[in-house]
Amino acid sequence: MRYIEPTRVKVLMMMFFATGTVGILIGLSGITPANFKLMITFMGVINIGLGAFFAFLFLTQIKAEPDKRKKKKKHRD
């Protein structure tokens, strides 16, 4: 997988964790109709899983090094 900037991964991670938590809380509370409770709770669990995936990426990815092939060589005169 290619390198993703840490700030972007942090934003995605927080977004998925927050929406997953809100989805689970709304799904388990009495706000929603009975036929949507399971679906909203399940989608919240999926968002928590995606947040965990981006947390794993954030913790395990290695900083990308600049490509040496694209570096211009300095000519000595």
Give residue limits of the domains in the chain.
6-60
9-39 pLDDT, tens digit each:
999 999 999 999 999 999 999 888 888 899 9
47-63 pLDDT, tens digit each:
999 999 999 999 998 87
Report whether 23 contacts 36 (CB < 8 A).
no
User: Which pTM was predicted?
Assistant: 0.76
Please state, in angstroms and rounded to a whole number, the distance separating the CA atoms of residues 55 and 18. 13
